[in-house]
Structure 1
Amino acid sequence: MADVVIAGGGPAGRALARACARRGLSTTLIDPAPGRRWRATYGLWADELPSLPESAIACAPSRTLAFGTRPHLLDRQYLVVDNAGLRSWLDGGYQVVAGAVAGVDHGARGSSVRLEDGRVLAAGLYVDASGARPRGKRYEQTAFGVVLPAEDAQRLADSPETAVFMDWRGSEQGFLYVLPLGDGTVLVEETSLARKPGLPLELLAVRLRARLAAAGLTSAGREERVRIVLDVPAPRRGRTVPFGAAAGLVHPATGYSVATSVRLADPVAVAVAKVWDRGPAEVASAAHRALWPSSARTVHGLRRHGLRALCGMPPETVPVFFDLFFALPTGLQRAFTSGREDVPGTVEAMSALFRTAPWRVRKHLIGWRALRRSR
């Protein structure tokens, strides 16, 4: 019997497995394809995960720009993750089992995890880190990208060392994301911020190819397809503990989750180890509390409110909204994008946006007016 069994071999699952093993808990990770490389491109702000080692960083762009209707130089270091380096950092100390979970049965003394091939694993605590699944109609962020040689991508960004975090110029239906990968190539991605359901990838591919053709480029490189479920609510407490995207750790208004998941792995493991002798039900409750204190639930609700407000704006208004957001002080930008338990900072960022917005934007943010009074 393992102390902890975790389903899902991505960054979230491996981060938690490593953290639990370091706390002396025997840990088993279930991964459907343990040898498969991580092909997604992960980006994060350096201040979100200061413990990230150099070996897990593929590129640190010299500067990061964003465009609404005008350019904004962002005063935060943006990083591109080296997937092999991240995986190496998160590996070790736990057992990896190839397989997929078919079902879980919880009992007074632990849980039985049934795999699709018939095997059963006994666990003191079962964690689902297998990703978010759309249930009904949820907001999704979708993107279609290609990897180009850096010299070609210069036609879309002023330097191969510049990251363009968001570029709304030339389209009100979505933005362009330009990210140097540190190996002489650049990811160029057409992104739909949020829709319910997500914009089809085929349509985004057509838009990207048209954008590239207008710059005299072809989309002949490696392709990348992205679909992120955004508005996962904070989970109810139960014997199965969700983690990563399955736990609603994706930021509802940005789609980012990797840094948050990796950062939260240690606090969750510490909480679990501290009450391990109290039995499976109390261990699961401790994990839930570590993941979702009341402050985090409040901020998550505010972020989901922000998502709905963004999706209710007419397309021509969205770039203006982001002009206002990127004109905020860096501390307020950081509070909204990265302050997961920062209720005052999140409220102040949303309130500042409302105060500075013209009526054509403000009328879509009416619900934000009461945020300062309710803080």
Structure 2
Amino acid sequence: MADMVIAGGGPAGRALARACARRGLTTVLVDPAPGRRWRATYGLWADELPSLPESAVACAPSTTLAFGTGPHVLDRQYLVVDNAGLRDWLTGGYDVVAGTVSGVDHGRHGSSVRLEDGRVLAAGLYIDATGARPRGNRYEQTAFGAVLPAEDALRLAGGPDTAVFMDWRGGEGGFLYVLPLGDGTVLVEETSLAGRPGLAIDVLAARLRARLAAAGLTLRGREERVRIVLDVPVPRRGAAVPFGASAGLVHPATGYSVATSVRLADPVADAVARSWERGPAEAASAAHRALWPSSARIVHGLRRHGLRALCGMPPELVPVFFELFFTLPTGLQRAFTSGHDDVSGTAEAMSALFRIAPWRVKKHLIGWHALRRSR
């Protein structure tokens, strides 16, 4: 019997597998395709994951811009992840089994993890890091992108060493994301911040083609399609422990989760290791408490309320909202986008936005402000 069986071979699952193995827990990672490269483009703020090694960084743009109704230089270092380097960094100390989990039976002394090919793995504790799946009418962020030569992307925004975090100018209720990849190419991505359901990928592809055509460019090169579930609630405690996007670690207002998941792997593994002798149920509870202390639950609730407020605004007001957001002090921007359990910082960022918003925006944030005050 393995101490831990973790389903999901993405960054979240591998980060937690490595952390558990380093604490002496025998760990098995179940990955449907262990040899498959990670195709998604991951970006993060350097201050979110200061332990990230240089080998896991594909590009560190010298400047990061954002455009609401005007340009803003963001005073935070943005990093583009080298997927192979990240995977190498998160590998080691655990066994990898090729397969897909079809079901899990939980008992007093552990779990039986069934794979689609009929194999059964015995585990003291089962972790689900397979990601969040669209269900019902959850909010989603969707995007369509293409990788272009850097000289082409210069016609859109920024420069060869500049990342554009958000560009709300000229969109149809969405924004453009421009990211140098460190190899002479740039990812340009048309993004719908949030919708229920998410905006169709083919609509976003048409918008990107139109945006490129206006700059005298054509769509070519590798394409990227993105669909992220944004509003996963805090999971209830149970015999299985969700982690990563499965656990609601996706930021409801940005769609980011990789840095948070990797950063939280160590405290979760610490909590499990300390409680291991008291049995699987206590280890699962300890993992849940490490992921979701009361402060993190409050922040998650505030962020989800902010998501609903944004989605309730007329499309023409969303760039105005972000124009205001990008004028906030860097510390408040960081608190709202990256503070998993920073209640005071998140609340102050929301309060500051409410104070400076014009009435046409403020009236959509009244519920937001009331919720912040109640916290």
Q: TM-score, normalised by structure 1?
A: 0.99
How far 1:158 moved relative to its partner? 3.2
CA distance in 2, matches of 1:343, 1:172: 33
| TM superposition shift of 1:367 | 1.4
Deviations 1:113-170 (A, max 9, x none): 0000000000000000000011111100000000000011110123111101000111
Q: Is it true that 1:147 corresponds to 2:147 in the alignment?
A: yes
CA distance in 2, matches of 1:222, 1:282: 46
The 2-side partners of 1:297 and 1:8 are apart by 24
User: Aligned equivalents of 1:97 and 1:363: distance in 2?
Assistant: 53
Q: Which portions of structure 1, spanning 4 or more consecutive aligned residues, are displaced by more than 6 angstroms? A: none
1:52-131 aligned at under 5 Å gives the runs 52-131=52-131
Letter in 1 for 2:367: G
Of the structure 1 ranges 166-175 and 136-145, higher mean CA displacement relative to structure 2 is found in 166-175
| Structure-2 separation of matches of 1:70 and 1:306 | 22
Q: Which residue identity is paired with 1:278?
A: R
The separation in 2 between residues aligned to 1:158 and 1:42, in whole angstroms, is 19
SS of the aligned residue for 2:364 comes to coil
Give the superposition deviation at 1:172: 3.8
* Partners of 1:62 and 1:161 within 8 A in 2: yes
1:353 is the counterpart of 2:363: no
Moved more, 172-181 or 8-17: 172-181
- Written as runs of structure 1 = structure 2, the 5 A alignment for 1:257-268 is 257-268=257-268
Contact 1:312–1:364 (Cα < 8 Å) also in 2: yes
What does 1:321-340 align with in structure 2 at a 5 Å threshold? 321-340=321-340
CA RMSD of aligned residues (A): 0.7
Look up the SS of the partner of 1:117 in the other structure: coil
CA distance in structure 1 between the partners assigned to 2:372 and 2:116 by the alignment: 51
1:207-356 mapped onto 2 (5 Å cutoff): 207-356=207-356
Residue 356 of structure 1 and its aligned partner are, at CA, apart by 0.2
Amino acid at match of 1:175: F
Q: Which blocks of at least 5 consecutive residues in structure 2 are unaligned?
A: none
Task: Please say if 1:156 is aligned against 2:156.
Answer: yes
On the 8 A contact 1:347/1:371 being kept in 2, the answer is no
1:228 counterpart SS class: strand
Quick one: distance in 2 between partners of 1:124 and 1:162?
Answer: 47
Deviations 1:42-94 (A, max 9, x none): 00000000000000000000100000110011000000000000000000100
- Give the aligned residue type for 1:364: H
Q: Structure 1 unaligned segments of length 5 or more: list them.
A: none
Show the counterpart of 2:51: 51
Question: Hey, what's the Cα distance between the residues in 1 that align with 2:140 and 2:162?
Answer: 27
- Could you say which residue in structure 2 is the equivalent of 1:7? 7
Please tell me whether the aligned partners of residues 172 and 319 of structure 1 are also in contact (alpha carbons under 8 angstroms): no
State how many pairs are aligned. Answer: 375
Looking at structure 2, the residues matched to 161 and 61 of structure 1 have their Cα atoms a distance apart, in angstroms, of 5
For residues 18-29 of structure 1, the aligned pairs below 5 Å read 18-29=18-29
Contact in 1 for aligned 2:111/2:124 (Cα 8 Å): yes
Superposition deviation, residue 171 in structure 1: 1.5
Q: Which amino acid aligns with 1:338?
A: S
TM-superposed CA distance for 1:370, in Å, is 2.7
Q: What TM-score does the superposition give when structure 2 sets the normalisation length?
A: 0.99
Give the letter aligned to residue 373 of structure 2: R
Once residues 158 and 302 of structure 1 are traced to their aligned partners in structure 2, the CA distance between those partners, rounded to angstroms, is 32
- Structure-2 separation of matches of 1:309 and 1:234: 19
Q: Contact conserved, 2:309 with 2:368, CA < 8 A, in 1?
A: no
CA–CA distance in structure 1, aligned partners of residues 101 and 28 of structure 2: 13
How far apart, in 1, do the equivalents of 2:335 and 2:371 lie? 15
User: Does the Cα contact within 8 Å between 1:142 and 1:227 map onto a contact in 2?
Assistant: yes
| 1:249 positional shift | 0.2
Give the distance between the partners of 1:316 and 1:172, measured in 2 at CA.
9
- Letter aligned with residue 335 of structure 1: A
Residue 371 of structure 1 and its aligned partner are, at CA, apart by 4.7
SS in 2 for 1:256: coil
Q: Kindly indicate whether the alpha-carbon contact (under 8 Å) linking 1:351 and 1:371 is maintained by their aligned counterparts in 2.
A: no
Deviation at 1:372, TM superposition (A): 5.4
Supply the distance in 2 between the matched residues of 1:220 and 1:275 (Cα, whole angstroms): 53
Partner Cα separation in structure 1 for residue 231 and residue 319 of structure 2: 22
Whole-angstrom CA distance in 1 between matches of 2:326 and 2:372: 20
